[in-house]
Structures are given as structure tokens and as C-alpha cells.
Structure 1
Amino acid sequence: MLPREHRLVAGEDFRKATRQGRRAGTRTLVAHLWVTDGGGSPARVGFVVSKAVGPAVIRNRVKRRLRHLARERLKSLPGSAVLVVRALPSAADASYDDLGRDLDAALERIGR
């Protein structure tokens, strides 16, 4: 589970990250990173897993995996960053390791 201060819950922050942030896509996900001016605030992460990914059981499994992967990578995010991870339908069939590699690749491309 992500600590409370690192959870992204406001819809406006989701919109700003997806519209104003940098984006990188992989086979299983799309990552949007928006670095805000809110100095001192911790990095926050949110997830978008639509019904296109699959039924509720599959969507929840994908969300749990992505949450755990994002928690491991919080320290590598710049302070006051907002990261939105959108799962693609192929995430339903991906293993935990595949999702981790794709998230790392997306974050690396955004960081360039």
C-alpha cells in the first residue's frame, strides 16, 4: 500500500498530470509525470485502470501490482512530482516482472 501522503486522489491533479506532464508509453502502460511547483510536497502517484483491461478481479490485480511497483520507485521520483500510471489492456496478461520492466522503461524515457 502507498503511504497516504504519496496517494494521488484529486481529479484535478490527474487531469493536470495527463495534460501538462511528460508522457511515455510501453506495451502494458502509459506513464504521465508532471513536476509541480509545490516545493516540499512529496511525490504522489495515481493509477487509471479502465474496464478495457478486464473484469474487476483482473483490474484490481493490475492495480495492486502497479501500486507495489510504484512504492518501490518513489525515491527515484523528483520531489513534488505527480505520476499517473495508466494500464493498457495488455497489462492484464503481463507478469509482475513485465510490469516492473515497463514502468522502469517509461520512467527512464520521461526522465531524459
Structure 2
Amino acid sequence: MLPREHRLTRPQDFSAVMRRGSRAGTSSVVVSVLLTPTQQISAWRCGFIVSKVVGNAVIRHRTVRRLRHLVAELISSGELELPQRHSVDLVVRALAEAPQLEHQDLKADLTSGTRRALKKAVQ
């Protein structure tokens, strides 16, 4: 589970990221990123969208847990460089292929999509 300060919870936050954020997709996920300038240290929050297209409730919850773990791992390990002096909001939308992928393949898709979305957002 992500700590509370790293979770997107309000529908308005999800809508803002989806409408105004930069988007990049892969075969299994679509990542939207919204950067907001701030005077504090870089902060990040993440939310997940997993629709019924992905599968039944058990599969959807498993997919969210896997994605949540991967996002926390990517950011804490430093594999993703978050822009300085910006608040980063991420929304990860799982596609139908996400549950079938192996751990490394899902991680590669998520990393690729997030890097490309961050690159678009910074420009």
C-alpha cells in the first residue's frame, strides 16, 4: 500500500491529471502525468484506473496491487528522475493485456510509459 501522501484519492485530482496531463501508452498501460510547480521538495502522488475490461474483481485488484508495487519500486529506487521543484501526479490506467504480463514485462511497460509521459510533460 502506498502511504497516504503518495495516493491520489479525489475524483477531481484524477480528472485534472487525465485532462491536462501528458499521456504515453504501451501495450499494457497508459500513464498520464501532470506537473505542478512548487517551492517544496519534489513530491509525487499516484492513482490507478483498472476497468472491468481487465477482468473480474479478483484480477482487477491483483493488477492494482502489482502496479502499485511497481510504481513505489520505480520511484524509491531512483530509476525515474522526477523533475525538481515540481509536484508530480501520475495516473496509471491498466489495459486488458496487463494481467497476463510477467513481472519484468509489466515493469518495462510501466517504466517506458512513465518516462515518455514525464518527458512530454517537462517540454
**TM-score, normalization by structure 1:** 0.92
Q: 1:48 is matched with which residue? A: 49
Q: Is the 8 A contact 1:24 1:110 kept in 2?
A: yes
Counterpart amino acid of residue 74 in structure 1: I
Specify the SS of the correspondent of 2:33. Answer: strand
What is the correspondence of 1:19-58 to structure 2 with a 5 Å cutoff? 19-40=19-40, 42-58=43-59
Amino acid at match of 2:23: R
Deviation at 1:38, TM superposition (A): 4.3
Question: Please, which of 74, 82, 90 is the counterpart of residue 89 of structure 2?
Answer: 82
Aligned residues: 112
Which stretch has the larger CA shift, 33-42 or 45-54? 33-42
- Structure 2 partner of 1:105: 112
Per-residue Cα deviation, 1:81-109 (whole angstroms, up to 9, x for no partner): 10000000111211221110001111221
SS of match in other structure, 2:97: helix
Query: Identity percentage over the alignment?
Result: 48
CA drift at 1:16: 0.7
Post-superposition offset of 1:42: 2.1
Instruction: Rate the CA distance shift 1:54–1:39 in 2: closer, same or farther, 3 A.
Output: farther
Instruction: For residue 111 of structure 1, report the CA deviation from its aligned partner.
Output: 2.9
Instruction: Report the aligned-residue RMSD.
Output: 1.5
**Rg larger in 1 or in 2?**
2
Q: Identify unmatched segments of 5+ residues in structure 1.
A: none
Aligned residue for 2:9, secondary structure, equals coil
Partner Cα separation in structure 1 for residue 118 and residue 45 of structure 2: 16
Aligned to 1:71: 72
**Letter paired with 2:92:** V
Amino acid at match of 1:54: G
